[in-house]
Amino acid sequence: MQARGRCWTFGDNIPTDQIVRSDRALASLEEMRAHVLENLNPDFPKQVRPGDILVAGKHFGQSSGRAIAPKALQATGIGAIVVEYAARLFYRNCFEIGLPLLECPGITAAVSDGDVLSVDMTTGAVEDETNGTRFTARAVDPFLMEMLEAGGIIPMAARLAGEEEN
């Protein structure tokens, strides 16, 4: 699984309530998408394009296990999320919905908004094609990679149920 796109950078300690404000948590995905991360970067929901890469610091997605935050990010069409460190529930929720996420220490100090990044989920390779910087992210558990490749936990479960019937 690979992604390539324009980089959007965010800092450390971003809670799910900054990804999707709690007053929008029951709105439609399209409504949430129109406002995702707007308090941190008002241009993000207006200018993010399919395939873009979101880069953030430590503790991204902290404070709530609501799966709506990764779903709102997925609705933007981003190709992948690359963070220094993700909150554990957010991390798992991304894989459960089929949203690629890598943890890559040192990434935020080396990339800038607008840089073109390429991400290889299988190898963990992250390259900033704009400045030539290369990283190797932490390895993703094989079970989570299988879930991601299936498109999330529901498609994976459906596939496994179909295999059991045969």
Asked whether 78 and 70 are in contact (CB, 8 A), the reply is no
d(CA 74, CA 52): 11
Tokens of 69: 């935050």
Asked whether 32 and 75 are in contact (CB, 8 A), the reply is yes
pLDDT tens for each residue of 89-141:
999 999 999 999 999 999 999 999 999 999 999 999 999 999 999 999 999 99
> Is residue 65 over pLDDT 80?
no
Q: What is the CB neighbour count within 10 angstroms for residue 88?
A: 11
